[in-house]
Chain A
């Protein structure tokens, strides 16, 4: 087993940049996946994931170790996504909706022509549909669903990251899955 997050954070606080590198390499895929799922744009996801780690670099001294490092990191990631999303919404609302209409067909009108799970998952178009379905969720439902599916975090850990009771985590996950289930019914019935 490698060095714990806590030790890496302590070393990094002491000025050891190689520990920061190790933390980045340990979490870059998960942070990137969360950002990509939250924003749905590859270029934005790369830039924003870097922004998350720049914040870690800059504000690591604000992390006092009262919670797990990943709790702090994922909270930071979610906050960064939400503020970027709001900023983008304000600046680019019309352009965004136009590009979505052009690139994607609404889920409800899709025909399920894939034959097996592998074929389904290899279908880039289907991937877009799933992302579009995800994008239709509110931020509150999406963040809990994305964190749960990417990280397999327990309801207790999720409640700490999202600052809400475990009961809220449970009901939001239920609602998120209900909405996704309805939108992706033809695909998930076939698997």
Chain B
């Protein structure tokens, strides 16, 4: 009964897909149980043999043979052609995109927003006040002198 649990987990064990505790338990059990150890060796051999048998390469000229089939497909294929700038942007890694975005925001801030925040910015109230004051200085209206009244003293 106890060995069943180990045998069930041996497959995941050889794949390195068990947690630390399970790995430790299996490792310890394999040292003391010849039956499970035999099973473990069989699994390892199966793996070795399978890898050699399964890994194959196609006949040489695979791409050339494939290429011969591609032109027949080309009318249906719409591979988008875009400009080099769009291509550059697409291939740019994320940190690069973020850096460019950051610089663009900074430039926008310096050119458009910053001047309005500083002391020398245009203040409409102040402007209006100055305008009215200047008007006061230059439009002095000379009032006519009051008529000179000759007052005769009556005796």
> Which of the 9-residue segments B28-36, B58-66, B99-107, B112-120 touches chain A?
B58-66
Q: Are A24 and B62 in contact (CB under 8 A)?
A: yes
Assess the A188–B42 pair: CB atoms within 8 A: yes
**Bound-complex Cα distance A145 to B70 (A):** 32
The segment from B73-81, B127-135, B143-151 found at the interface with A is B73-81
Interface size on A, as a range, is 35 or more
CA distance A189 to B70 in the complex (A): 47
Most B Cβ at <10 Å: residue of A28, A49, A146, A177: A177
Smallest Cβ-Cβ distance to B47: which chain A residue: A149
Q: Mark B40-63, 1 if CB is under 8 A from A, else 0.
A: 001101111111111111110011
Which residues on B sit within 8 Å (CB–CB) of A150?
Answer: 51, 54-55
Q: Are B43 and A120 closer than 8 Å at their CB atoms?
A: no
In the complex, the answer to whether A15 meets B81 with C-beta atoms within 8 Å is yes
Q: Which of A29-37, A79-87, A90-98, A101-109 contacts B (4 or more CB under 8 A)?
A: A29-37
In the complex, what distance in Å separates the CA atom of A10 from the CA atom of B45? Answer: 41
Point out the residues of chain B lying under 8 angstroms from A61, CB to CB: 78
A125-B44 Cα distance, complex, nearest whole Å: 22
A interface, by DSSP: helix, strand, loop or mixed? helix
In this complex, what residue of B is CB-closest to A121? Answer: B52
Closest residue of chain B to A24, judged by CB?
B63
Contact pattern, B 73-99, Cβ under 8 Å of A = 1, otherwise 0: 100111111100001001100000000
State whether the Cβ of A88 lies closer than 8 Å to any Cβ in chain B: no
Neighbouring B residues of A45 by C-beta, 8 Å? 58
Bound complex: CA of A71 vs CA of B95, how far in Å?
25
Interface residue tally of chain B, by bracket?
Answer: 35 or more
Question: In the complex, how many angstroms separate the beta carbon of A141 from the nearest chain B beta carbon?
Answer: 12
Interface contact B45-A33, CB-CB below 8 Å:
no
Q: A14-B81, A57-B73 are in contact. Are A29 and B54 (CB under 8 A)?
A: no
| Contact assessment for B46 and A181 in the assembled complex, using a CB-CB cutoff below 8 Å | yes
Chain A residues lying within 8 Å of B62, measured Cβ to Cβ, are 24, 28, 32, 46, 49-50
A25/B63 contact (C-beta < 8 A), A14-B90, A120-B49, A173-B15 known? yes
A13 within 8 A of B: yes
Bound Cα distance A174, B79 (Å): 43
A interface, CB within 8 angstroms of B: 7, 10-15, 21, 24-25, 28-29, 32-33, 36-37, 45-46, 49-50, 53-54, 57-58, 61, 117, 120-121, 127, 130-131, 145-146, 148-150, 154-155, 170, 173-174, 177, 180-181, 184-185, 187-189, 191
